[in-house]
Structure 1
């Protein structure tokens, strides 16, 4: 009987020591947010992936630079025409034989979803303005069955459009006679909020996506959800 009592006393002593040493540390870690990597991804990761953030450079939120181009209806369209609208912007060209048809088929899915909303818009800037006149862009819009009056296919001076992509958005575009179509560009969709700021979500690794890959159905679905979230923002 004495041995049994000693066993209980020993177990109780171990529990007491554990509580004194480790429980305060656990409480302190939780209060500071220092959970394990596994728990952090499980609890925080989902919130990161759905909460939209701003792109920040030198402490300032990145916004769409000023521009003025001509759309498929020969109307002058500037960045101010997208004020108060959630907008998706891309760079493409009508004779592109590679990624542009995929991009604009996916962009049409967004048009199908949101075309009835006055606070949603799409801006598609051609990087081949010499070929892509307003008339050519009008034919292209009709080919894709564009529904929204707020989907603008924009053309203008080549150097200004390429400066908008390369410097304004940091989305690469360039002339290269050795590639199919004669132009190189990245197939990104940029998401812009109603105040003109570039927005994006965090990926599974906790890094800001910045832009959405317009050729990837999964990222287009993410973009669709993020558009809905921005449309609900005040």
Structure 2
């Protein structure tokens, strides 16, 4: 009798273990980050990566701006790298300082990782010259050389913000470059220049999610 009970329990445990192993890949796949292909920021989950090229057609466009050191920076800086973008202006007294402080938490935790780039585009480029951005970066205590503060032609920055980064998620590219751009969003972009996450830069807890999502992207092939 005891032998029969033992055999039944053993069989049950073996079946349970096998069942768990079969479920494990699905759990891992569920952890994959979504893609965002349009201004509505509707998440698109794709488990078969071979489908991404055809189904996720939106990528960050080419750009060329001056950084805080008066060095011309273009899309080559994010080639095959994960990057986080936001849009600020140095004279902002509301959300921008908070966003910068919160993004610095992310930057400091990844400062030695050269595969991560941070891009802060000025939405008042006629004020935020390279020297102004340089002083701002220093005043904020930012030492990460992979964090670039960018300035240039207003229409170019605003077009990139709205048409590439979908910086205002509820409006996207429906606004033109004459309307002021002011958003708390941080945008996470993968190595193929596809948008993978959007975060509220004024919420400290979102920075934990951002760091975790960057780690997830690093594991993607």
TM-score range, shorter chain: 0.7 to 0.9
TM-score, with structure 2 as normaliser: 0.72
TM-score, with structure 1 as normaliser: 0.68
In 2, Cα distance between the equivalents of 1:124 and 1:78? 13
User: Which structure has the larger Rg?
Assistant: 1
Match of 1:230 in 2: 217
Q: In 2 relative to 1, CA 88–74 (structure 1 residues): closer, same or farther, beyond 3 Å?
A: same
Aligned counterparts, 1:34-113, within 5 A: 48=30, 50-57=31-38, 59-113=55-109
Is there any run of 5+ residues in structure 1 with no aligned partner, and where? 1-43, 177-182, 201-210
In 1, Cα distance between the equivalents of 2:196 and 2:112? 22
- CA deviation after TM superposition for structure 1 residue 144, in Å: 1.2
Say whether the 8 Å CA contact 1:126–1:153 is kept in structure 2: yes
Give the secondary-structure state (helix, strand or coil) at the position aligned to 1:61: coil
Aligned counterparts, 1:189-228, within 5 A: 189-200=186-197, 211-228=198-215
1:116 aligns with 2:112: yes
In 1, Cα distance between the equivalents of 2:57 and 2:106? 25
Q: In 2 relative to 1, CA 156–76 (structure 1 residues): closer, same or farther, beyond 3 Å?
A: same
1:188 aligns with 2:175: no
Tell me which of 137, 155, 163 is aligned to 1:159.
Answer: 155
Deviations, residues 165-201 of structure 1 (Å, cap 9, x unaligned)? 122222138767xxxxxx551110110112211113x
RMSD: 2.3
After TM superposition, which residue ranges in structure 1, 4 or more long, deviate above 6 angstroms? 44-47, 173-176
1:170 aligns with 2:170: no
Match of 1:180 in 2: none
